[in-house]
Amino acid sequence: MIAFAGTSLAQQVQTTFDIAPGPLAQALAQFGRQSGMQVTYIPSLATGQVSPGVSGAIAVDAALVRLLVGTGLVYSYAGTNTITVSDPTAAAMSYDGSIVLETIDVTAWVQNAATGSGFQGTPDWVYESPESVSVVSREAIQNMQVRDARDLMSGVAGVYSGEGNGSFPTVSPNIRGLQDSGRVLISIDGAQQNAQRGFGNGSSGYQSNSGQAFVDSAFIATVEVDKNPGASSGEAGSLGGSVNFRTIGANDLIADGNSYGLEIDLTRGTNAYNRQDSILAAIRLADTPFSVTAGLSGMDLDEYKGGMNGTIAASGSFRGRQNWSSLLKLEGDFGDARTSLSWMHQDSAFKYQTAGFSNFETVVNDSVSGQVNWSPSDNDLVDLQARLWLNNMSNKEVREERNLGGGVIKAPETTTDVATLSIGGSLENTSRLDTAAGPLTLNYGVEAFRDNATAAATSTSIAANPTWESSYTAFSPPGARTVASAFANAELQPADWVTLSGGLRYDWSRLQGSPTYYNLQPAVPRFATAAQTEYAWRDSRGENPAGAPPFLQALWLANMGEGHGDKFYPTGAEIFPLSTPAYYRSNVLRIDRAEGILLPSVTAEFEPVEWFKPYVSYSHSARPPTILEAFFAGGPPSDAPGDAYAPNTSLRSEQARTWEAGANVALDSLFIENDSLRLKFAAFSRAIDGYIVLGDIVAPGVTSKHYLGFVNLAGTTQMRGLEIEGNYDARHFWIGGSATWLETEWPTSAEIVSNGVIVSDGSIRATSGNVPPRFKLTLDGGVRLFEEKLQLGARVTHVTPTLSRALSKEGELQEATEAYTTLDLYGSYQVSDNVGLRLAVNNVTDLRYVPASGGYTAPGRTVLGSMNIKF
pLDDT in tens, 773-820: 899 999 999 999 998 899 999 999 999 988 776 655 555 667 777 899
Average pLDDT over residues 355-383: 89
What sign for the dihedral angle of Cα 28, 29, 34, 38?
Answer: positive
Q: Give the whole-angstrom CA distance, residue 837 versus residue 831.
A: 7
Mean per-residue pLDDT over the chain, rounded: 83
Of 29, 156, 23, 119, which Cα lies nearest the Cα of 611? Answer: 29
Mean pLDDT (whole number) for 502-523: 92
Fold agreement (9-106, 119-515+587-822+844-862): no
- Give the single-character DSSP code of 142: H
Q: How high is the pLDDT of residue 115? A: 55
Instruction: Report how far residue 60's alpha carbon sits from residue 333's, in angstroms, rounded to the nearest whole number.
Output: 13
Q: Collapse the DSSP code of 161 into the 3-class scheme (helix H, G, I; strand E, B; otherwise coil) and give the result.
A: coil
Mark 287-296 as b/e (b = at least 16 C-beta within 10 Å).
Answer: eeeebebebe
Radius of gyration of the chain (CA): 33
Q: What is the number of alpha carbons within 13 Å of residue 833 lying toward its C-beta?
A: 3
| CB of 575 closer than 8 Å to CB of 569 | yes
- Topology of domain 9-106 in CATH is Phage tail protein beta-alpha-beta fold (3.55.50)
pLDDT band at 578 (very low <50, low <70, confident <90, very high): confident
Note the pLDDT of residue 203.
Answer: 37
Class of domain 119-515+587-822+844-862: mainly beta
Instruction: Say whether pLDDT at 91 is over 50.
Output: no
Query: Does 278 score more than 50 pLDDT?
Result: yes
pLDDT in tens, 215-248: 998 999 999 999 988 888 888 999 988 999 999 9
3-state secondary structure 240-283: CCEEEEEECCHHHHCCCCCCEEEEEEEEEECCCEEEEEEEEEEE
Q: Per-residue confidence at 95, pLDDT binned at 50, 70, 90?
A: very low
What is the rounded CA–CA span in Å between residue 628 and residue 479? 8
Give the pLDDT score at 513.
95
Question: In 3-state terms, what secondary structure has residue 11?
Answer: helix
Percent residues over pLDDT 90 in the chain: 44
Residue 2 has pLDDT above 70, yes or no: no
Q: Give the residue with greater pLDDT, 531 vs 344.
A: 344
Give residues with Cβ within 8 angstroms of 733, minimum separation 6.
781, 782, 783, 784
842 close to 859: Cβ distance less than 8 angstroms: yes
- More confident: 485 or 314: 485
Residue 22 pLDDT exceeds 50:
yes
Least confident of 316-320, 543-547, 603-607, 745-749: 543-547
Beta-strand pair 591-606/191-192: unpaired
Beta bridge partners of 845: none
Full-model pTM: 0.81
Pairing of β 38-41 and β 82-86: parallel
pLDDT at position 79 is 56
pLDDT of residue 205: 45
Would the pLDDT of 588 be above 80?
Answer: yes
Among the listed ranges 127-136, 173-182, 205-214, which one has the minimum average pLDDT value? 205-214
Instruction: Please indicate whether residue 266 or residue 74 has the higher confidence score (pLDDT).
Output: 266
pLDDT tens digits along 285-301: 988 999 999 999 999 98
Chain centroid to Cα 860, Å, comes to: 26
Angle between helix 60-67 and 24-35 (nearest 10): 170
Determine how many CB atoms are found less than 10 A away from the CB of residue 581.
8
Distance between CA atoms of residues 369 and 687, nearest Å? 34
Determine the Cα–Cα distance for residues 346 and 327; give it in Å rounded to an integer.
9
Residues 807 and 801: their CA atoms lie apart, in Å, by 20
pLDDT at residue 201, rounded to an integer: 39
Torsion of CA 9, 14, 20, 26, to 10 degrees: -30
Query: How far is the C-alpha of 680 from the C-alpha of 19, rounded, in Å?
Result: 18
C-alpha 383/C-alpha 364 separation (Å) is 36
Rounded to whole angstroms, the Cα distance separating 66 from 64 reads: 5
Q: Is 196 a residue whose pLDDT tops 90? A: no
Q: Closest Cα to residue 222, out of 294, 152, 119?
A: 152
Q: Over 70: is that where the pLDDT of 165 sits?
A: no
For residue 310, count other CB atoms closer than 10 A to its CB. Answer: 18
User: What is the predicted pLDDT for the residue at 93?
Assistant: 42
Examine the pLDDT at 113 and tell me if it is beyond 50: no
Distance in angstroms (rounded) separating the CA atoms of residues 782 and 791: 7
Phi, psi torsion values for 250, nearest 5 degrees: -60, -40
Q: How many CA atoms lie within 13 A of 110 on its CB side?
A: 27
Is pLDDT at 269 greater than 60 in this prediction?
A: yes
> At 106, is the pLDDT very low, low, confident or very high (cuts 50, 70, 90)?
very low
Find out whether 765 and 693 touch, Cβ atoms under 8 Å.
no
Domain ranges within the chain, ordered by starting residue = 9-106, 119-515+587-822+844-862, 520-570
Q: How far apart are CA 110 and CA 610, in angstroms?
A: 16
SS3 category, 727: strand
pLDDT band at 166; cut points 50, 70, 90:
low
pLDDT at 284 over 80: yes
Q: List Cβ neighbours of 363 (8 Å cut-off, separation of 6 or more).
A: 169, 214, 346, 347, 348, 349, 350, 393, 394, 395, 396
What is the rounded distance in angstroms from the CA atom of residue 221 to the CA atom of residue 85?
Answer: 32
Cα–Cα distance, 132 to 110 (Å, whole number): 22
What 3-state class would DSSP assign to 116?
A: coil
CA separation for the pair 114, 122 (Å, rounded)? 9
pLDDT at 417 over 90: yes
**What's the pLDDT score for residue 594?**
95
Q: Which of 84-98, 395-409, 780-794, 848-862 has the lowest mean pLDDT?
A: 84-98
Confidence of residue 4 (pLDDT cuts 50, 70, 90): very low
* CA–CA distance, 506 with 482 (Å, rounded to integer): 14
Going by C-beta distance under 8 Å and a sequence separation of 6 or more, which residues neighbour residue 739? 157, 722, 723, 724, 725, 775, 776, 777, 778
Strand partners, 298: 277, 324
Q: Which residues contact 186 (CB under 8 A, 6 or more apart)?
A: 171, 172, 173, 192, 193, 211, 213, 215, 242, 243, 245
Contact 410, 402 (CB under 8 A): yes
Residue 97's pLDDT band, with cuts at 50, 70 and 90, is very low
User: d(Cα 774, Cα 816) in Å, to the nearest integer?
Assistant: 12
CB neighbours of 364 closer than 8 A, spacing ≥ 6?
345, 346, 347, 348, 392, 393, 394
